[in-house]
């Protein structure tokens, strides 16, 4: 954490103009200053969640589920990104979590945005989170309505990966600065995208030729190695392939100046497996592989990335309450303890289905006696659907009605994909910033006094 704090100090020293917009945003959302001092991450969040559990929001029932959003986590991630990939401009993938607070903080810190639809770039532009030139319309296959909207609203950077898309861009987005998305080797990724998007290297020359015939201005190349890709060669190979496509485009007369290295960067530090080895590549390790190649092969180009979970994952912690329970006796005299919490698979926990997530439930008030009473446990969400199940017949400490549980790292592909099915949704949001006391806070106080 000390290393991350030093990166934050460096970022604000190098870009002091960011301080006032960040301070104003903290005030707008009435973010409580709750610095990380010592101890484990779990202990810190236990303290934070307990604070808000004991100070109910008057707009909600005191047992309603709630999120705690930490602006400090976003600030640290931006500082880390700039430290390890200083030549790359992050364009936050809005689809990951489009919350106003998160998008606004990334905007105030100077980030751009990766938008996949007209709805997303309209939100970013209407809220003045970015100018059109700081948005990339990065969905390779788009509706003509969204292409028309991008043209009208001044969005220019747009991706494509096939001949049919080129023809649509030529017809409905004539001012486009088109970016050719290429396939990657994402076989080692948890979430693979090259089955759905990307042109094979054998297709790139024909696509560039056709773009020239249609008058579509191609300005660069993009790729995405997939989320959770543990093979550094996927990044290395993609960068080298992009260089080859740059050379093809320049040979035709295009001015190739933009490289988009996509996303998939982890938003948390790797956990260790049973042998003590990291289960995935850290952001720092990924950056160590790609930064030298970017400097060598794209020194005079604009380089952007599309991080999503990198910024959002650690920014949200979810607190849920046990509202019901029952004990079911099976034929072998094994008692199954069944609990019902007030968020579930149709809302925040949809990431279990769609994002391969394995959220970890933590007791808010751990009790030695309670933890000793471990039973086969099933935990259901609040809806009437039997599929709404968070934990199924796993050992878990005995709980009581009214007890709180909390889950960290719940900011990615959670609320973004949730619904209000059966009328259930988590709407209470509380805000904090966990940056330790430093010159950052001193400058905020100085400005408040002026």
With helix as H, strand as E and coil as C, how does 197-222 read?
Answer: CCECCCCHHHHHHHHHHHCCEEEEEE
In the chain, what's the furthest Cα-to-Cα distance? 77
Tokens of 107: 């905007």
Is 96 a known active-site residue? no
Report the candidate in 434, 442, 432, 439 with the shortest Cα–Cα distance to residue 25. 432
Distances in Å between the Cα of 39 and the Cα atoms of 223, 351, 409 are 39, 28, 17
| Rounded CA separation 177/191 (Å) | 28
The catalytically annotated residue of 115, 191, 384, 389 is: 384
Tokens of 428: 């209470």
- Angle formed by the axes of helices 71-84 and 2-14, nearest 10°: 80
Strands (E), 167-301: 177-181, 217-222, 258-260
- Angle formed by the axes of helices 19-28 and 71-84, nearest 10°: 160
| Rounded CA separation 13/19 (Å) | 9
419 class by beta-carbon count within 10 Å (0-12 exposed, 13-18 middle, 19+ buried): exposed
**Residue corresponding to tokens 């592989």:** 289
| Rounded CA separation 414/405 (Å) | 17
Backbone angles phi, psi at 257, to 5 degrees: -130, -5
Report the candidate in 111, 92, 127, 416 with the shortest Cα–Cα distance to residue 263. 92
| Rounded CA separation 102/85 (Å) | 21
The residues, ordered by sequence, that sit 6+ positions from 321 with a Cβ below 8 Å of its Cβ are 63, 64, 65, 341, 342, 402, 403, 404, 405
How far is CA 67 from its chain centroid?
16
Backbone angles phi, psi at 167, to 5 degrees: -65, -40
Residues with a catalytic annotation lie at 384
């Amino acid at each position: 954490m000390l290393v991350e704090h030093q990166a934050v100090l460096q970022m604000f020293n190098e870009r002091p103009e960011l301080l006032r917009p960040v301070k104003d945003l903290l005030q707008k959302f009435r973010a409580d200053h709750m610095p990380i001092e010592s101890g484990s991450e779990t202990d810190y969040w236990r303290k934070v969640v307990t604070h808000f559990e004991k100070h109910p929001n008057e707009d909600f029932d005191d047992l309603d589920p709630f999120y705690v959003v930490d602006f400090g986590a976003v600030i640290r991630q931006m500082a880390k990104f700039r430290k390890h990939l200083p030549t790359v401009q992050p364009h936050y993938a809005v689809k990951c979590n489009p919350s106003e607070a998160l998008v606004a903080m990334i905007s105030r810190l100077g980030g751009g945005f990766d938008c996949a639809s007209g709805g997303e770039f309209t939100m970013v532009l209407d809220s003045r989170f970015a100018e059109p030139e700081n948005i990339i319309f990065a969905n390779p296959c788009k509706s003509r309505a969204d292409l028309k909207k991008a043209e009208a609203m001044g969005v220019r950077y747009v991706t494509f990966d096939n001949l049919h898309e080129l023809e649509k861009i030529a017809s409905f987005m004539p001012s486009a600065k088109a970016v050719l998305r290429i396939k990657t080797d994402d076989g080692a990724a948890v979430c693979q995208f090259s089955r759905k998007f990307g042109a094979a290297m054998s297709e790139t020359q024909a696509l560039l030729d056709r773009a020239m015939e249609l008058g579509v201005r191609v300005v660069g190349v993009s790729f995405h190695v997939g989320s959770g890709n543990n093979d550094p060669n996927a990044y290395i190979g993609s960068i080298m392939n992009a260089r080859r496509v740059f050379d093809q485009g320049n040979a035709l007369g295009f001015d190739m100046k933009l490289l988009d290295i996509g996303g998939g960067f982890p938003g948390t530090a790797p956990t260790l497996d049973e042998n003590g080895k990291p289960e995935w590549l850290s952001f720092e390790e990924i950056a160590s592989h790609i930064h030298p190649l970017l400097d060598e092969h794209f020194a005079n180009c604009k380089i952007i990335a599309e991080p999503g979970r990198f910024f959002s994952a650690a920014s949200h912690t979810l607190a849920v309450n046990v509202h019901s329970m029952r004990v079911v006796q099976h034929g072998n005299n094994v008692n199954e303890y069944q609990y019902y919490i007030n968020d579930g698979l149709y809302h925040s926990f949809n990431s279990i289905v769609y994002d391969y997530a394995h959220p970890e439930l933590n007791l808010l008030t751990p009790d030695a006696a309670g933890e000793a009473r471990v039973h086969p446990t099933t935990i259901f969400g609040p809806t009437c659907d039997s599929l709404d199940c968070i934990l199924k017949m796993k050992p878990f400490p005995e709980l009581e009605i009214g007890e709180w549980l909390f889950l960290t790292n719940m900011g990615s592909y959670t609320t973004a994909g949730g619904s209000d099915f059966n009328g259930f949704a988590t709407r209470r949001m509380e805000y904090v910033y966990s940056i330790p006391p430093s010159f950052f806070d001193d400058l905020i106080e100085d400005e408040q006094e002026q």
